[in-house]
Amino acid sequence: MSDAYLSLSRVDMTFASKGGTTNPVLRNINLDVKRGEFISLIGHSGCGKSTVLNIVAGLLKCTGGGVIVDGKEVNAPGPDRAVVFQNHSLLPWLTVWQNVEIAVNKIFRDSKTAAERKAWIEHNLEMVSMAHALHRLPSEISGGMKQRVGIARALAMEPKVLLLDEPFGALDALTRAHLQDEVIRIQGELGNTVLMITHDVDEAVLLSDRVVMMTNGPAATIGQIMDVPLPRPRNRLALVENPVYNHCRQEILTFLYEKQRKVEPISLRNASADPVAMRA
């Protein structure tokens, strides 16, 4: 793909094990992502999804192949790639405001004035509906609110690629649905390039432009890539009876539970496509 913004080319990852043996985790991962695309990676536990994301983030160095973001090779972590983990990773001694401020000051101290940085922090916290809790500590807010702050902090860095590692996995169904809707809205406004890991089939279809399905490990690779030709903006309630949505959902389930059957499959909750939780 000539217009790739994020490109993984022939990526391999092997870890050394005790006794001198090796553990091949990834084999020949090839993926091109356009600017502004929302891509989800899905697969059974242990298939290397998080390893792919950590390689793109620069937290791991692949043993073969390489990653390019906006024409530059990824060799280390950088502000052009921001990660939101399942655990919010907020600093517990800092307030909501300060947790975003620390990232903004690091990235923009030399390019924005103090007043501009203040306005930018406010803007990003307002974007995730957290302007009412600026001076609260993480211990004083809910799990969903913590994750909103983590998303605001990542967006405030203005990353070229936003990396989401099961960002809603630890939340209750209703909070998860609300945050998914927020991500749909924000991605629609900003046009971020997003790479997300998920175990949730409905989440993948609801949020993504394409879904990348991983084969089982060891030496996992990309087994199938599916386009999600649903118009944006997307409304979860309207999609319940949408034949395209249900076709995409069924195609992923077929891949995971027939082509990639495993003793310990990923969680399949509310397979009837609950319009509120929309969980697989």
Which one is predicted more confidently, 258 or 115?
A: 115
- CA-nearest of 216, 204, 207, 201 to 253 is 201
Length of the chain (residues) = 280
Strands 22-34 and 4-16: antiparallel
For 137-151, the pLDDT digits (tens) are 999 999 999 999 999
Are residues 214 and 48 in contact, defined by beta-carbon separation less than 8 angstroms? yes
Sorted by where each starts, the structural domains of the chain and their CATH numbers stand as: 4-80+159-259 (3.40.50.300)
Would you say 26 and 46 are in contact if contact means Cβ atoms under 8 Å apart? no
Q: Which residues pair with 212 in a beta bridge?
A: 41, 225
**Residue 89 near residue 150, CB atoms below 8 Å:** yes
Contacts 24+ apart (CB under 8 A), 100-103: 100/124, 100/125, 100/149, 100/152, 100/153, 100/156, 103/153, 103/154, 103/156, 103/157
Report field, pTM of the whole predicted structure over 0.85: yes
> Which has more confidence, 262 or 128?
128
Edge-to-edge strand list for the sheet holding 64-69 = 22-34, 4-16, 64-69, 72-73
Segment 219-223 mean pLDDT: 94
Q: Count the helix, strand and coil residues of the chain and give each as a percent rounded to the nearest 5.
A: 40, 25, 40
Quote the tokens at residue 23.
Answer: 């553990």
- Residue pLDDT, tens place only, 149-203: 999 999 999 999 999 999 888 788 888 898 899 889 888 889 999 999 999 999 9
pLDDT on residue 262: 53
Spatial contact of 145 and 133, defined as CB atoms under 8 Å apart: yes
pLDDT tens per residue, range 198-212: 999 999 999 999 999
Q: Over the stretch 46-70, which tens digit does the pLDDT of each residue have?
A: 889 999 999 999 999 999 999 999 9
What is the reported pLDDT for 217?
83
Token pair in block for residue 232: 């944006």
What's the pLDDT score for residue 96? 97
pLDDT digits (tens, 9 = 90+) for 77-95: 999 999 998 877 899 999 9
